[in-house]
Amino acid sequence: MATLLAQYRDQVVPALKTKFGYSNVMQVPRLNKVVVNVGYGRHVKEKSFIEHVEKVLAAITGQKPVHHRARKSISNFKIRLGQPVGASVTLRGKSMYEFVYKLIHLSLPRMRDFRGLPKTAADPQGNYTIGFKEQLAFPEVTAEMSDIVHGLEVTIVTTAKNKEEGLALLQALGLPLRIT
C-alpha cells in the first residue's frame, strides 16, 4: 500500500545508500514493475478455463489481463502460430506497491508449508520470480473461483544492477527470503 512506498522512502533508501555507498538517492534500486502471468498449458483449447484465468487475474490484480498468442508453431507441444498461450497483467506505480504489500503480508503467509523464499529465484539483473502452484494463496480468490485450480507466476522487476542489490532491496521491503 502507500505504507510500503513510505517504508521504501524512509527506511530502505537510507539503508541501501549506506550499505552500497551510493552518492545519490537516484542510484538506489527501486521496484520498476510487477508482472503476474498464467500459461494455459494443456487447457489451451478450453474456453471456460481461459475465462476463469482472466477472472482470477482481474480479481487478484485489479486490472484486465492481456492475452498472449504463440509467435511460432511448435508441433511437439501442439501449439500453432497465433494460438492463445497465456495471459498476464503488468502493475506499475501505486497498484504495484499495493500488490507487493498484499503479496508479502497476506499471500505468502497463506501458502502451505511456507518456510521463506529461496534466494536462487533472483536473476543476475536483480529481478525476482515467485511461482505459485495454486491461486488459492491470494485472499481475493473466492470459493467459486477455487473450483479450477491453476498456477501463476509473479515477477518483481527492479532497477538493480546485480543480484546482490536486487535481493537487498527485496529483503529490506520485507520479502521473506531464506537464510540458506
Please say whether the beta carbons of 93 and 100 come within 8 A: no
Please say whether the beta carbons of 163 and 90 come within 8 A: no
Query: What pLDDT does 1 receive?
Result: 45
Task: Please give the sequence-ordered ranges of beta strands (E in DSSP) within the chain, or none if there are none.
Answer: 31-39, 66-69, 84-91, 128-132, 152-158
Domain covering 2-173: architecture? 2-Layer Sandwich (3.30)
Query: What pLDDT does 159 receive?
Result: 93
Cell of 26: 537516484
This prediction has a pTM of: 0.87
- In sequence order, the 6+-apart residues with CB closer than 8 A to the CB of 123 are 129, 163
Per-domain residue ranges for the chain? 2-173
Query: What pLDDT does 180 receive?
Result: 58
Element (H, E) at 168: helix 163-173
From first to last of its 180 residues, what are the pLDDT tens digits of the chain? Answer: 458 888 889 999 999 999 998 898 999 999 999 999 988 877 777 788 888 888 888 989 989 999 888 888 888 877 888 888 889 999 998 999 999 998 888 888 887 778 888 888 889 998 999 888 877 778 787 777 777 778 889 999 999 999 999 999 998 998 888 875
